[in-house]
Amino acid sequence: MAQKITIVGAGNVGATTAQRLFDKGYADIVLVDIIEGLPQGKALDILESGPVVGSDAKIIGTNSYEETAGSDIIVITSGIARKPGMSRDDLLLTNMKIVSDVVETTSTQSPDSILLIVTNPLDAMAQQALKISGFPKERVVGMAGVLDTARYRSFLAQELDVSVDAVQAYVLGGHGDTMVPTVGPTSIGGIPVSDLIPADRLEQIIQRTRDGGAEIVGLLKTGSAYYAPSASIVEMVGSIILDKKLILPCTAYLEGEYGLNDLFVGVPVKLGKTGIEHIFEFKLTKSELAALHKSAESVRETLEIMAGK
């Protein structure tokens, strides 16, 4: 039997994720949205691309959750998107309610699924999903670090005029202004990045990484990024569905790692068929570890706002 992936939210991120996964052909897809006709129309359009891209996967669109029953992975992209001048935290209370409702329903329909959270503010929404679902922490993971790291690697590759494949890097911490693009573990063809790029220029690239989402929002005027986010989701889904055990920077629930407890923060993890199979503790500089704790504190402040509502 083919594996089954549910994507909740048929907006730009959700629909593009559905299209990319359909092209892969390794799982059947259910696309869910509350707007009548939207997921059905997009799913049908994607289905009709099958003969061209060579995919025999099945995909359906629906406004209900019955068709999602028995899903292996639930990807949650639903929620309101950022507008120019809006921080991720501005989205907090509205998206908290949306994610809570979605998780409560999908967890009942697919009690053995892995929850992959995309809705912003990402770290807080992952924490809410864990609370509502009652799932083991290994089966709740957030997509943030893969996207932030992709931006970081893209900018470094541009700077040095090399293939992105030559760039090894990790962005840790919360998905927001306090994220931590690391320098110590970052290398270009095995050469430490600090040997190739002057410190002041490297800091500019790090800041552009932090502002990566906002830069796109500012350019688009109406909407936010979805090509790179959807590609990042697909990499994570592939590592789970195919049990590839990739080591990726993902939002995970920490219980002592990096000196942090009871909190979802972006860290390197091994992703396999059971979800998060291991959390890796990189050796960070004192300043990087301090920045990671500062980022975690920002996440904790967001949770306190949620707890007060």
Residue 250 sits in a domain of what CATH number?
3.90.110.10
Query: Global pTM?
Result: 0.95
Q: Which of 101, 126, 142 is the C-terminal boundary of a domain?
A: 142
Q: Are 65 and 32 in contact (CB under 8 A)?
A: yes
The CA distances from residue 1 to 26, 28, 152, in Å, are: 11, 10, 38
In this structure, the answer to whether residues 27 and 168 fall within a common structural domain is no
The residue among 236, 233, 176 whose CA lies nearest residue 11 is 233
Distance CA 107, CA 115 (A): 9
180 with 260, same domain: the answer is yes
| 198 cis-preceded (ω within 30 degrees of 0) | no
pLDDT confidence band for 2 (50 / 70 / 90): confident
Domain count, the chain: 2
Looking at the structure, do residues 95 and 152 belong to the same domain, yes or no? Answer: no
Look at 176 and 167; give whichever has higher pLDDT.
Answer: 167
Residue 44 and residue 61 in contact, taking contact as beta carbons nearer than 8 Å: yes
Q: Do 224 and 247 have their domain in common? A: yes
Domain shared by 18 and 136, yes or no: yes
Same domain, 186 and 104: no
CA distance 309 to 229: 29
- pLDDT for 87 beyond 80: no
Asked if residue 170 and residue 127 are part of one domain, the reply reads no
CATH of the domain at 121: 3.40.50.720
pLDDT digits (tens, 9 = 90+) for 20-76: 999 999 999 999 999 999 999 999 999 999 999 999 999 999 999 999 999 999 999
Two tokens at 195? 């040997």
Mark whether 152 and 297 lie in a shared domain. Answer: yes
Task: Report the catalytic residues.
Answer: 175
Question: Mean pLDDT, the chain, as a whole number?
Answer: 95
Are 137 and 240 part of one and the same domain?
A: no
Give 208-261 as a DSSP string.
Answer: HHHTHHHHHHHHHSS----HHHHHHHHHHHHHHHTT--EEEEEEEEEESGGG-E
| Same domain (yes/no): 252, 303 | yes
Residue 84 predicted with pLDDT over 70? no
In contact, 124 and 299? CB cutoff 8 Å: yes
Identify whether the C-beta of residue 296 lies closer than 8 Å to the C-beta of residue 173: yes
* Domain boundaries, position 138: 3-142
